[in-house]
Amino acid sequence: MVFDRAVIEMDKRADRLYSWLKTEKLAREKASWVKKRVKLINNGYQGTSQEYRDTVIAYWKKYGLKPKRYWFANYCNGLDAYDPRYLPDTVYYRMILPYFNDISMRKAYTDKCMYRFLLHGVEMPDTIVKNIAGYYYNGDKNEIISFEDAKRICEKEDHLIFKPSINSGRGKRIEFYDRGRNDVGALFSSFRKDFVVQRIVSQHPDLARINQTSLNTIRVVTFRFKNDVHVLSTILRMGSSGSRIDNISAGGISCVIRPDGRLAEKAVTRKAVWTDKHPSGIAFKDIVVPNMHDVVESAKQLHLQLPYFDLIGWDFAVRDDGAPVFIEYNVMPEPNQVSCGPTFGNLTDEVLDEVFLKNSKRRSPLTVPLMKQFERIFGI
C-alpha cells in the first residue's frame, strides 16, 4: 500500500515536471523575443513611471505580482495609454496556461495520427499514409502495411505533404513531395517514424490569390470558461511570396480577422514590421475570408470534444468549395497579443481572479512566490 502511494505520488511529480519544462521553455523564449522586439520598435510605448505605477502596478497588486515594464512597452506600443490587461508571457505560460490545460495529456492528444479518432463532424485533409511507432498504416484505416506498399501508395500521387505527428509545430520538419523532384523512400527514411502523409488541400481562390505557394490558414483561439466556449482571437496566417508554409516563425505574415471575415488594414511580420499589403501586392483590407462563420463554429464545436484543455489554438483552411478543413490544433497556443490585444479581453478580470484568488484544487506548477523568485533569478 505504501509503495503504491509512493508510485502514484512520483507519477504526479513527473507530470508536474513535464508541464513545468514545456511551459518554462516557452516562457523564456517569449521573454527573449519580446526584449528584442522592444528594441526593434524603438522601445515601444513609453508612458511615465507614475502612469505605470498607477495603472499597471496597481492592477496586478491584488494578484501578488509586479510585472516588468518591457512587457507593456511592447504590447501597448501604438496605444495612447497603458492597458494593464495585457499578460506578461511569463505569467501566461508559467501560471495561466497550466491552470487551464493539463499539459501532461498533451502528447497523447496532439498526435496527428489520432485526429480521426478524437475529433468528429469536421472535414480533414486526405491522409494517404501514416506511421505510428514505426508501423505504416493505409491512410486512416486500421490496416498495417509494409514500407513498400506505403511507398507505392504515395508514388501514385503528384504532390503530398509530410508532417511529424508528434513534437511538431511552427512549420518545423514539414516536407513536400513532388513527383519527379524527390524520392518517397528518402522522405520515409528521413522521418523514420511518427509522421503523416497527406494530400495538399486545394484552398479557396480568395485565399489562394494572396499567396498561391502556401496553404494560408486561419488560427482560431478558443477558451472554455464557465460552461461556454469563447473565441479569444482569429487571425489569418499567410506565407510570404514563394514560401510553401504560412507560419510567422518561418517568415510568414499574420493579420487579424474581423467578425465579418474581413481582414484588418495592417498585418505584422516576425520582425515586427506592420504592412498594409502582402508582398504579392494585395491590400489586406480588400480580403474577406470565405465562410468565416462556419470556421469559428467548427472550432467551438470541436473544443467540446477535448476535455483536458480549456485553451486551444485551431488551424483551419478553407477548401476551394468553401468548406472549412481542420488542419491541426495546439494546446499551448500563443496569446496573440501583438495583433489581437489582451488575450482574454473583457474576460481578463474574471480569468485572473479564477487563477490567482479562487480557492481551487486546480494548480499551476508555479505559485506566486516561486514566480517572483524566477523573475529575480532569471530577470524575466
- Give the whole-angstrom CA distance, residue 204 versus residue 347: 34
| pLDDT, greater one: 371 or 264 | 264
**Ramachandran region, residue 101 (left: φ > 0; alpha: ψ -120 to 50; beta: rest):** beta
Q: What pLDDT digit, counting tens, does each position of 133-153 carry?
A: 999 999 888 899 999 999 999
- Between the CA of residue 144 and those of 139, 140, 153, 195, what are the distances in Å? 10, 10, 13, 14
Q: Where are the alpha helices (DSSP H) in 41-88?
A: 49-52, 58-61, 69-75
pLDDT of residue 14: 74
pLDDT of residue 171: 59
- Give the whole-angstrom CA distance, residue 119 versus residue 306: 8
Whether 363 shows a pLDDT value over 60: the answer reads no
pLDDT of residue 269: 86
Q: What pLDDT digit, counting tens, does each position of 69-93 carry?
A: 999 999 999 999 999 999 999 999 9
pLDDT of residue 21: 87
- Give the whole-angstrom CA distance, residue 216 versus residue 202: 11
* pLDDT tier for residue 252 given thresholds of 50, 70 and 90: confident
CB 216 within 8 A of CB 236: yes
CB 197 within 8 A of CB 128: yes
pLDDT of residue 250: 58
- Give the whole-angstrom CA distance, residue 246 versus residue 237: 6
Q: Which residue has the cell 487579424?
A: 256
DSSP string for 212-273: TTS--EEEEEEEEETTEEEEEEEEEEEPPTT-S---GGGT-EEEEB-TTSBBPS-EEETTS-
3-state secondary structure of 55: helix
Summarize the confidence of residues 27-46 as an average pLDDT: 94
Instruction: Please report the sign of the dihedral spanned by the C-alpha atoms of residue 292, residue 199, residue 117, residue 331.
Output: negative
Grid coordinates belonging to 182 = 524527390
Rounded (5°) CA angle 258-112-128? 105
| pLDDT, greater one: 373 or 56 | 56
Q: What pLDDT digit, counting tens, does each position of 316-332 carry?
A: 999 999 999 999 999 99
Residues 6+ apart with CB under 8 A from 206: 287, 288, 289, 290, 318
Of 69-73, 170-174, 284-288, the one with minimum mean pLDDT is 170-174
pLDDT of residue 199: 97
Q: Which residue has the cell 501578488?
A: 64
Q: What pLDDT digit, counting tens, does each position of 93-127 carry?
A: 999 999 999 999 998 899 999 999 999 999 999 99
Whether 365 shows a pLDDT value over 60: the answer reads no
Q: Which residue has the cell 485553451?
A: 311
Rounded (5°) CA angle 208-213-218? 55
pLDDT of residue 375: 60
Amino acid at 43: N
Average pLDDT in the chain: 90
Whether 368 shows a pLDDT value over 80: the answer reads no
- Candidates 3.30.420, 3.40.50, 3.30.470, 1.10.4160; CATH matching 111-117+203-330: 3.30.470
| Percentage, residues of the chain above pLDDT 90 | 77
Whether 273 shows a pLDDT value over 80: the answer reads yes
- Give the whole-angstrom CA distance, residue 296 versus residue 222: 9
